[in-house]
């Protein structure tokens, strides 16, 4: 058994002599005092850059705040634990006290990833997730990805309104229960990935503007809030240390950086790669994943592991549902051709004008291996940002959805499922939070206003039926219904998932490293044929028909892996079907 501690520049750090070091960047302040419970205030020393430090005897578990104004004491922005929420005191922690059992764990190669995105709150916190690991492992899931766990205002939130990025939310458990979850997953051979949010802070509990105005860059504001000054070395280090803190002290296997396109200082990404390579132990598999609206293939070439392939999701959604409002309009003109490009080259937009924004989007990506792209049919955004949080299974033809699901799990891209998808969950996943008073009103009305341009919600009375994000019932409705899992349809979907992932593990995973496209072509209405050369020279072919009519004849692959529908002849590709095989 062993322990792990990462020395960060900010927050608290137990010292070898039994004291604790406190460090706060507060350039807007001339004086700051440390206030530890049951102890007199202690003046902190300020350096030329506005970093305040002090070292004092302070036991693990002690609660503390920083007095930044005579009338205001604030939690530590690098707090490790906030048991009383984001407005309460911070707690001194010592990560070395947790004895890890999975000490020999070095992670798994990226080509073995089958990701399961989940929300900690709706699954019962860190302990609740741990209780689900065995069933996920039995299905063939090799990695869980947890939506943001940073501390946020209230007791319910998606996690993208966080304000204390180092402190796991007390709504899900304490820091050691998070360590125990990761430890248990590693013992079972499963990776754990974390979604992190660095492009903005939430609206409740963010005190940084009071004492660190230089943390922000108002010229880079976004719809989420005030821009972050990543070009400032203190700010850059704050977030790079946060990544390394999760990777080294909590032993996460990787992070997914939310809305990377909103981080305007491109150099920050290079600094993150450089420090990660310098700090992470040799031989350990660590994965840095991006969500990036810009489709910046250059970051993937530079060393980032992969990017969420929103283009792939969006065009498949259009083909499956016929929807074309909002950003789906970008993919509604000749979507079959767009799907072929996604399967062949990764991104759909590679420098073309985005009709949604009027700006060029993306760069060429055809040289990248398929594993650089994370493909999905559903995720928290694409489901929860619908007015009523409908799952895809309630919107699409069953046969076509089965075929698209098989494409997801058998293509060389890295597949990601959203919690409950493995059993065809019909429970909605809604946008929820726990704000109060004027902020709650603003969020509720802002949420409904977002849909005012959609045809179905032009009537104010219809918009009024959109669930209130702050209502407890909205959160409760977002829990996946476990009874569906045990119903007949649920068991059929589970068996389907198990079969497809078993095929992926046996026939594809050992061959996926470096797999690249041999081309994809349109073979009919909503029908494509795609081929990839695998690592050992074998060729994977997938023929997909998402239409309601037979498509052109196809050649039967020498080794049939999967057929999603009965066929009258081996050359037939019936409506809503997929045929996958090896050559």
CB 349 within 8 A of CB 414: no
Quote the CA–CA distance of 536 and 510 in Å, as a whole number. 9
* Residue 338, token pair as written in the block: 């767009």
CB 167 within 8 A of CB 88: no
Provide the angle, in degrees to the nearest 10, between the axes of the packed helices 398-410 and 488-503.
30
Quote the CA–CA distance of 357 and 379 in Å, as a whole number. 23
DSSP-derived secondary structure for 519-540: EEEEEETTEEEEEEE-TTS-EE
User: What backbone torsions phi and psi does residue 365 show, to the nearest 5 degrees?
Assistant: -135, 5
From the list 161, 291, 311, 421, the catalytic residue is 291
What stretches of 304-381 adopt beta strand conformation (E)? 306-308, 352-354, 359-361, 373-376
Q: Known catalytic residue: 291?
A: yes
**Which residues on neighbouring strands pair with residue 353, listed in sequence order?**
360
Q: Known catalytic residue: 281?
A: no
From the list 145, 195, 241, 258, the catalytic residue is 258
**Which residues on neighbouring strands pair with residue 254, listed in sequence order?**
193, 287
CB 428 within 8 A of CB 480: no
Sign of the CA dihedral with 195 first, then 426, 431, and 171 last: negative
Residue 545 is inside which H or E element, if any? Answer: strand 539-545
Q: Which residues contact 462 (CB under 8 A, 6 or more apart)?
A: 456
Quote the CA–CA distance of 401 and 316 in Å, as a whole number. 10
Quote the CA–CA distance of 72 and 80 in Å, as a whole number. 21
Q: CA torsion 6→8→11→15, rounded to 10°?
A: 60
Return the CA Rg of the chain: 25
First-to-last C-alpha distance (Å) of the chain:
47
Written in H, E and C, the secondary structure of 75-90 is CCCCCCCCCCCCCCCE
Quote the CA–CA distance of 479 and 472 in Å, as a whole number. 12
Written in H, E and C, the secondary structure of 240-294 is HHHHHHHHHHCCCCEEEECCHHHCCCCHHHHHHHHHHHHHCCCCCCCEEEECCCC
Residues belonging to the active site: 258, 291
């Amino acid at each position: 058994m062993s322990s792990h501690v990462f020395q960060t520049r900010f927050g608290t750090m137990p010292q070898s002599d039994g004291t604790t070091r406190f460090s706060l960047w507060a350039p807007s302040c001339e004086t700051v005092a440390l206030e530890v419970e049951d102890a007199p205030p202690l003046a902190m020393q300020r350096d030329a850059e506005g970093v305040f430090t002090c070292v004092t005897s302070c036991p693990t578990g002690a609660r503390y705040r920083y007095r930044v104004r005579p009338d205001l004491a604030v939690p530590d922005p690098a707090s490790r634990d906030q048991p009383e929420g984001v407005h309460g005191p911070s707690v001194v922690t010592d990560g070395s006290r947790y004895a890890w059992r999975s000490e020999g764990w070095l992670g798994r190669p990226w080509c073995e990833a089958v990701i399961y995105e989940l929300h900690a709150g709706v699954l019962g916190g860190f302990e609740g997730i741990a209780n689900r690991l065995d069933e996920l492992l039995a299905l063939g899931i090799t990695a869980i990805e947890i939506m943001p766990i940073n501390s946020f205002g209230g007791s319910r939130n998606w996690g993208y309104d966080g304000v204390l990025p180092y402190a796991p939310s007390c709504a899900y458990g304490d820091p050691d229960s998070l360590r125990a979850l990761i430890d248990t997953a590693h013992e079972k051979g499963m990776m754990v990935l974390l979604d992190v949010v660095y492009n903005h802070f939430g609206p409740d509990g963010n005190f940084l503007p009071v004492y660190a105005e230089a943390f922000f860059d108002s010229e880079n504001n976004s719809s989420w809030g005030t821009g972050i000054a990543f070009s400032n070395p203190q700010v850059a280090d704050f977030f790079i240390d946060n990544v390394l803190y999760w990777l080294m002290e909590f032993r996460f296997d990787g992070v997914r950086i939310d809305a990377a396109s909103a981080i305007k200082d491109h150099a920050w990404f290079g600094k993150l790669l450089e420090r990660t390579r310098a700090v992470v132990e040799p031989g350990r598999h660590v994965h840095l994943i991006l969500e990036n609206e810009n489709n910046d293939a250059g970051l993937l070439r530079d060393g980032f592991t992969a990017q969420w392939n929103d283009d792939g999701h969006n065009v498949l959604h259009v083909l499956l549902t016929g929807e074309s409002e909002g950003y789906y309009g970008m993919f509604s003109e000749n979507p079959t051709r767009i799907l072929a490009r996604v399967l062949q080259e990764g991104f759909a937009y590679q420098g073309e004008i985005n009709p949604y924004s009027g700006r060029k989007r993306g760069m060429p990506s055809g040289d990248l291996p398929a594993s650089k792209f994370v493909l999905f049919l559903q995720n928290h955004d694409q489901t929860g940002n619908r007015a009523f949080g409908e799952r895809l299974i309630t919107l699409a033809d069953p046969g076509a959805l089965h075929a698209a699901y098989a494409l997801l799990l058998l293509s060389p891209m890295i597949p990601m499922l959203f919690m409950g998808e493995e059993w065809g969950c019909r429970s909605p996943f809604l946008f929820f939070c726990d704000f109060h008073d004027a902020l709650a009103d603003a969020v509720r009305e802002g949420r409904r206003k977002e849909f005012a341009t959609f045809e179905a919600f032009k009537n104010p009375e219809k918009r009024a039926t959109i669930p209130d994000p702050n209502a407890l019932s909205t959160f409760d409705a977002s829990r996946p219904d476990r009874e569906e899992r045990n119903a007949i349809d649920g068991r059929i979907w589970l068996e389907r998932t198990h079969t497809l992932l078993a095929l992926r593990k046996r026939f594809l995973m050992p061959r996926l490293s470096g797999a690249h496209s041999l081309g994809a072509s349109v073979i009919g209405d909503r029908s494509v044929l795609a081929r990839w050369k695998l690592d050992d020279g074998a060729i994977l072919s997938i023929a997909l028909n998402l239409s309601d009519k037979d498509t052109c004849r196809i050649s039967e692959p020498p080794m049939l892996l999967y057929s999603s529908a009965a066929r009258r002849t081996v050359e037939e590709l019936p409506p809503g079907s997929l045929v996958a095989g090896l050559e």
